[in-house]
Structure 1
């Protein structure tokens, strides 16, 4: 009995010390959290708001809608657009993603086909159906903006034309990415600032349009600045990463591998958009900022 107590006491002592250390560490972490909440309340509000927006779910839904509607819509553009516009879109995709190798061959197979045969296989009815289904991407973006600003849904009568306008505008922006990145021939020294200004302007206008002008312009500016800047940085990184990943997926897994690569890239983009817009909404409602921007309650 005496030996049992002697052999057990060191173990109990070590367990007690570990419990004491764990308790002290927990208390220290709680103090750090309370201190951070007191000094930086915006972090706490931002974290809770990102959870309320359901960030990953919103970004994944938006990416899925973009992928399911963008590919058919690109075929429609290829079949009905003039040759100059088709070439402009191809050049923009090349400039933005730096596509080469196997991915470049796949892209040329789609856009170098005869426009008449493409138009015949697509058909006017199919083109209209694709355009209408593509508004699902607009609706997903609208829901994201509404969640970020905690606004109720807009009636379909008010929002329907906004979905189409947003979609057409984004197609135009995609087509202009090539000339913008090249600074209209001047080079990257002008191209990157132009891309940044365009991204900020597009996301500033996007929020105002899809929120049906229920939020004034100035409170929407922080979200536009964050989203536009982040997407400009992501575009630079994508040109280094996407070509190699896309070619590797195509060579190893075929078209299915390319699908997963493009979808993963879209999810990353949509996460950036969701974080940027939501963070901007939280910042715009901070008391010190709201007084200057006139943010709604």
Structure 2
């Protein structure tokens, strides 16, 4: 399915695609949903997990944000489980947090559908996909620490494992949320761009985020750390929107499309 105006240079089609999906608006919406809905769900789920799982989750968050110290200590306090956490959250509280987190998955689905210019799927057809995506994402997040250690094989292998899992996750994410309406191989360019981009961004975050968090907390208190985290999330999801949207444009390039068609035979 060719893009209208395919005779124009690739750069022009990429710009048109990013304007059409409203990259900054979509990235800000995803960042807000992640902060307001997914983070509370993650804290609620972690509160009921065994300590080894919570420790793996904490390590994964440190790798994701590239930070440590006071900010990570606050996350540890929030995710401490036991009877106190069970009493504070309760089963109903966890269920509400999970249901609220599906708002993020719905926003992610809208990004995929808008990028591929597809109509919205019927709610009854896709509703089960939202919690399934959240479940797989939580499992993959917990596994990040183990992948980074590469089972003792070294950081280089660990980085390659993280990159592979990220590409596979975003490949499957598009397929799931698009309800299988786009062939697998057509989704691969977007998965490579998104997976590679977010892994590189998380690795680079260690160069600036800890210092920025410390300075913003010293100047503005807890509010400063909130602003810093939201900024980090907006940039993160800008990379996600760029990868998914531009991946669609690249998948329609004649040379790449022929190569993908050859692979599918």
Task: Say yes or no: TM over 0.5.
Answer: yes
Secondary structure in structure 2 of the residue aligned to 1:230: helix
Question: Retained in 1: the 8 A contact 2:113–2:120?
Answer: yes
Q: Which runs of 5+ in 2 are unaligned?
A: none
Decide whether the 8 Å contact of 2:38 with 2:101 is kept in 1: yes
Let me know the Cα RMSD of the aligned residues. Answer: 1.9
Alignment partners' CA distance in 1, 2:178 and 2:32? 22
Secondary structure of 1:123's counterpart equals helix
Match of 2:131 in 1: 164
Query: Which has a greater percent of helix?
Result: 1
Per the alignment, residue 224 of structure 1 pairs with 191
Counterpart in the other structure of 1:133: 100
- Structure 2: how far apart are the matches of 1:42 and 1:98? 34
Q: Could you tell me how far 1:289 is from its partner in structure 2?
A: 2.4
Match of 1:270 in 2: 237
Residue of structure 1 equivalent to 2:150:
183
Q: Tell me which residue corresponds to 1:56.
A: 24
Contact 1:66–1:137 (CA under 8 A) maintained in structure 2: yes
> In 1, are the aligned partners of 2:6 and 2:13 still within 8 Å (CA)?
no
- Please report how far the alpha carbon of residue 102 of structure 1 lies from its aligned counterpart in structure 2 after TM superposition: 2.0
For structure 1, list consecutive stretches of 5 or more residues without a partner in the other structure. 1-36
Q: Which residue of 1 aligns with 2:12?
A: 44
User: Could you tell me which residue of structure 1 aligns to residue 71 of structure 2?
Assistant: 103
In the TM superposition, residue 40 of structure 1 has moved relative to its aligned partner by: 6.0
Matches of 1:127 and 1:263 in 2, distance apart? Answer: 23
Larger CA Rg, structure 1 vs 2 = 1
Give the counterpart of 1:200 among 167, 170, 175: 167
**Partner deviation per Cα, 1:74-130 (whole Å, 9 max, x = no partner):** 221232212221111112122333433321332232234x52101101111111111
- 2:141 corresponds to which residue? 174
TM-score (norm 2): 0.92
Give the whole-Å Cα distance in 2 for the aligned partners of 1:242 and 1:272: 17
Task: Indicate whether 1:250 and 2:211 are aligned.
Answer: no
Runs of 4+ in structure 1 deviating by more than 4 angstroms, as ranges, are 37-40
TM-score (normalizing by structure 1): 0.82
Residues in 1 aligned to 2:6 and 2:83: alpha-carbon distance in whole angstroms: 65
Q: Separation in 2 of the partners of 1:244 and 1:187?
A: 27
**In the alignment, which of 116, 136, 143 is matched to residue 149 of structure 1?**
116
Partner SS state of residue 128, structure 2: helix
Q: CA deviation at 1:66?
A: 0.6
How many equivalent pairs are there? Answer: 258
| 1:75 aligns with one of 35, 43, 49 | 43
| Kept after mapping to 2: 8 A contact 1:69/1:137 | yes
